[in-house]
Amino acid sequence: MPLSPGTKLGPYEIIELIGAGGMGEVYRAVDTRLHRDVAIKVSAEAFSERFEREARVIASLNHPNICTLFDVGPNYLVMELIEGPTLADRINEGPIPLDQALPIARQIADALEAAHEKGIVHRDLKPGNVKITVSGAVKVLDFGLAKIAGDAPAAPSGNSPLTVTMGATQAGMMMGTASYMSPEQAKGKPVDKRADIWAFGVVLHEMLTGKKLFERESLSETLAGVLMESPDLTLVPPQVRPLLQRCLEKDPKKRLRDIGDAMVLLDSAPEPVAPALAPTALPPPPRRQWLWPSIAALFLLTTLVLSFIHFRETPPPAPLMHFTIPAPEKNNITTGLFAVSPNGRYVIFHARGADGMGRLWLRDLEETEAKPLSGTEHFANIPFWSPDSRFVAFDTMNASIRRLEKIDVTGGPPQVICDLPPGGNSALGGTWNRDGVILFGSDRGIMRVSAAGGVPTPVVSLNPAWKERLQLSPSFLPDGKHFLYSRLSNASPDKIGLYEGSLDAKPDQQNARLLPGLMALYVPSLDSAHGQVLSVRDGSMMAQAFDNQRGAFTGSPVVLAEHIGTSGGGAWGRFSASSNGVLVYQTDDIPNVQLTWYDRNGKVLGTVGDPARYQRMILSRDGTKAVLNRIDPLTGSQDLWLVDLVQGTATRFTFGTYSTSPLFSPDGSRVAFVSVRNGVGGLYEKASNGSGSEDLLVKGTNVGTLSDWTNDGRFLIYGGGNPFNTWVLPLAGDRKPFPFARTQFTELSAHLSPDDHFIAYASNESGRNEVYVKPFTPEPDAGSSAAKWLISRNGTAGMVHWRKDGKELFYLGTDGNVMAVDISTTPTFHAGVPKALFAVPPAFMRLSGTPGTLGDVSPDGQRFLFALPPEKNGRDEFSVILNWTEKLKR
């Protein structure tokens, strides 16, 4: 949230907000000690490595044409306040006359020369980063992207000369402003001071003409211009052209080497000479009456021929470009999906900071950093865009209230569109047409609501005969009436797939399937009669042409990218695309992980076995064995494996089935697990030594995640249903499950105390997951009115476990700290203040939306076992392909 006037930052008192960007806000403030006005740049995050770097860079520059740094605070920089317009403001008024432009250019060159002499490259020189004071002095601002010469990363490998991997701290991060980038920046090569010289030439041209030299309607067209077009210098004065030609050489080896030579070159240019008159004039030769008509006819014929040839030419294809954009510093991209705006300019995504708080972030692909959207801290599900790329709609969950909201990305707080029914799944993807109609997926079918607000009504109903669970990810076709969407049914796998619906059809009469499987996204094209459907098949992103009028696929699928990540148990592919050629995706980020023991102080005690693609883990009660989900990297199948924690050996436990959510029996002799066989889910049991058969306990239940087993072996505790609550399953009699407590909230990770008298669990009833404890009685609704104690304080990421003596409770905080809470039960239940034992590596917290499922605690509470991925170098990132439709032509 912006700081309000009167707020104090040390000795500085905020007066007003004067600017904002991806890295934070800039305020006018007063230094109460020296009684002078200053500018304060406040970081959007806690003091970051990049913020520290910016402070060091600016502090090393002491020059009259460079903004002066006065002071550094814990998350802010204090700089001189420069009154006056930016150079961009001045250019907006029209071209600058040469006699006024040259003094400005000289001062910019002087500032760059001072920086270059210290080995500093600005890398984002543009009119918006140049201020002109009331006295006419020039100040170059914002060395936030500056780079010390020599620390540039090596050029990325690859066969494509148009691969764009622009580096800030590492290759692959797109930094700088596209229309001012040098060709080497756009190609992903290391940059030096010659990149600033290129930008200087672009700025000077813009000053003299009032026109942006390379900026086009889209990012891809802009970069294509930088890479491929020869700059048109006909609009600038002749004496400036030699300088601009030297500055704007696409090959940096041929470019002007030192900015200090720019003014020398300009000063040495000859003044334009007026044509001299001859002292005497000879009489003209006799005119021939046929000469000029013949010349005119020849000119006309030549023009017609050239025009014919020109218009028959096929325009060169748009270049196919690849680059990556990073997550905000000290933030992790969550498994909540992301979306590209229809105009291809923005990416909206969800990321979580070190404080555990997540929010939506907006990345303008033409800018350098993402910016957080205030008011989106309760984001809960998939965002989607308005057709004009101005609004983002998103699902929120705050306490017991779940809503669909929208936010104007140009500014302003979120606005409520409608309340959503309570439940575990709402607003599962959405679409918005030009008539202001919004469709969104849910566990009640495809719902319709006005973008202006209202009450949702069904457009497609769930089919009870199919035992349908969800309908999700609708996307309008160009007519704004028909739409594609996906349906999910556990009991009828042959009904799972992509369907076409219509606003005019009845909700219960839209049952025509187009494509089996999920993870499909419709992308319109410039041709309103056809579009492309993107889907994930065996880890590959495929595109297939779709005839909008016939509602049918044409042609063969084309592979766009490999190793695409998925979310929602494989229900969604992590990709999004615009109709004008921008494709954003994330690769499969499930790495091989290493089982690693820690002590209570965070010291690594050792590892167990070999790395593998494990996803979920639970220990036996004696701490000698673990059972884990493991994914086959070749087939993608998921089975259970047993790991002997003493010997370090791993043995496969299930074969060729989708099996998950394992749980040891109290004595460790058996393992219960959930498995899907022939499209039908069920609860199974097998001896933990691998002998015997897999016995079906219950078929087709709502069992989602097994979590505990009573000491007497009579009851299983699991999470399931909708909303996802805690359930109790008797293993004798009719085996009919019953809810422990009926709530409208999602409950996870329920675990019994060692004496079975209490149950600890995580619930989102406060708006985020926190740990609670209730007395436990294995009877229907016994927990609905039972006493309740809040255990955690700042959220939990799971791993709720008791020590074997019941005197301590552990959980994983959303900030990555392993927390311990002292527990006493006599004379009444009492929980102490949570204490942080140690922090797990950041890479562990990035593994999934529920990282606690990959950690467990030894029975005595002295050791902690985590499945750790290799540490990532750098930040999370998105992969971007510009002009992806060119791949369809190959």
| Claim to verify: residue 707 and residue 571 sit in the same structural domain | no
Closest residue by Cα to residue 409 from 358, 351, 345, 355: 345
| Claim to verify: residue 63 and residue 176 sit in the same structural domain | no
| Claim to verify: residue 788 and residue 711 sit in the same structural domain | yes
State which residues form the domain around 766: 593-868
| Claim to verify: residue 559 and residue 640 sit in the same structural domain | no
pLDDT profile of the chain (890 residues), mean per 10: 84 87 77 89 61 64 86 82 91 93 93 89 89 89 59 34 31 60 80 92 95 82 82 90 93 91 68 39 40 43 45 56 81 80 92 76 85 84 91 80 89 90 69 96 90 94 82 91 85 78 86 69 83 84 89 88 72 84 82 91 94 90 94 71 94 84 94 80 89 85 82 92 83 90 86 96 87 95 92 91 96 93 94 96 75 92 92 75 83
Residue 394 in any domain: the answer is: no
| Claim to verify: residue 644 and residue 754 sit in the same structural domain | yes
Active site residues: 124
Closest residue by Cα to residue 418 from 389, 384, 380, 457: 457
CA separation, residue 75 to residues 9, 11, 36, 54 (Å): 9, 14, 21, 12
Q: What is the pLDDT of residue 157?
A: 31
Contact 654, 672 (CB under 8 A): no
Residue 305 in any domain: the answer is: no
Backbone angles phi, psi at 489, to 5 degrees: -140, 125
What DSSP line would sit under 742-758, residue for residue? --SS-EEEEEE-TTSSE
| Claim to verify: residue 107 and residue 177 sit in the same structural domain | yes
Residue 157 in any domain: the answer is: yes
| Claim to verify: residue 708 and residue 739 sit in the same structural domain | yes
Residue 862 in any domain: the answer is: yes
Residue 611 in any domain: the answer is: yes
| Last residue in a domain, options 589, 606, 634 | 589
| Last residue in a domain, options 589, 608, 624 | 589
| Claim to verify: residue 96 and residue 167 sit in the same structural domain | yes
Q: What is the pLDDT of residue 549?
A: 86
Residue 283 in any domain: the answer is: no
3 state SS of 578: coil
Count structural domains, the chain. Answer: 4
3 state SS of 197: helix
Q: What is the pLDDT of residue 627?
A: 95
Contact 750, 707 (CB under 8 A): yes
Sheet of strand 593-599: strand arrangement: 604-612, 593-599, 863-868, 855-857
Length, in residues, of the chain: 890
| Claim to verify: residue 96 and residue 77 sit in the same structural domain | no
Q: What is the helix (H) or strand (E) element at residue 87, kind and residue range? A: helix 87-92
| Claim to verify: residue 822 and residue 743 sit in the same structural domain | yes
Residue 400 in any domain: the answer is: no
Query: What is the pTM for the complete model shown?
Result: 0.61
| Claim to verify: residue 235 and residue 248 sit in the same structural domain | yes
Identify the bridge partners of residue 708 per DSSP, sorted by sequence position: 717
The residue with tokens 């079918």 is 445
Q: What is the pLDDT of residue 298?
A: 44
| Last residue in a domain, options 283, 302, 325 | 325
The 3-class secondary structure across 678-730, one letter per residue, is CCEEEEEEEECCCCCCCEEEEECCCEEEEEEECCCCCEEEEEECCCCEEEEEE
Residue 252 in any domain: the answer is: yes
> CA–CA separation, 406 vs 412, rounded Å?
10
Q: Report the CATH number at residue 133.
A: 1.10.510.10
Residue 250: count of CB within 10 angstroms of its CB: 18
Contact 365, 383 (CB under 8 A): no
Q: What is the pLDDT of residue 87?
A: 95
